[in-house]
Amino acid sequence: MSELFLIGGMALVTFLIRYGLIGMSGRLKLSPSVIQMLCYVPPAVLTALAAPAILMPSGDQLMLSYTNAHLVGAVTAILVSCWTKNLLLTIVLGMLTFLGWQWLLQLI
C-alpha cells in the first residue's frame, strides 16, 4: 500500500511542477535567444540518456571496442542519419546492425 502512496506522490509532484510552466506558457514571453537555446534541450537530454547505455553496456566499465554491439549499432545509426536524414531508415538499420553484430559476436 505504501508503494501506491509513493507512486501517487511522485505523480502529483511531477504534474504540479510541469503544470505550473504549462499554465504560464501563454502569458510568458521568451526572447528569441532563449527559444533558440531551448531547441538544444531535447538532443542534450537524449545524449545524456543514451551515451551511458551505449558506451557502458555492462554498466561497470567503459567499452570502446568492436565487441560492443551497442556502439557499433549507434555509430551505424549516426552515419545513416547524417547520410539519409530518414528517421525510419536510421532506426531500422541501426537496430539491424546492432542485432546482427550481437549475433556475429556470439558465433565467435
pLDDT per position as a tens digit, 64-85: 999 999 999 999 999 999 999 9
Q: Are 56 and 62 in contact (CB under 8 A)?
A: yes
Q: Is the dihedral of CA 43, 49, 55, 61 positive or negative?
A: positive
pTM: 0.69
pLDDT per position as a tens digit, 21-50: 777 767 778 789 988 998 999 999 999 999
CA distances from 14 to 4, 7, 11, 17 (A): 15, 11, 5, 5
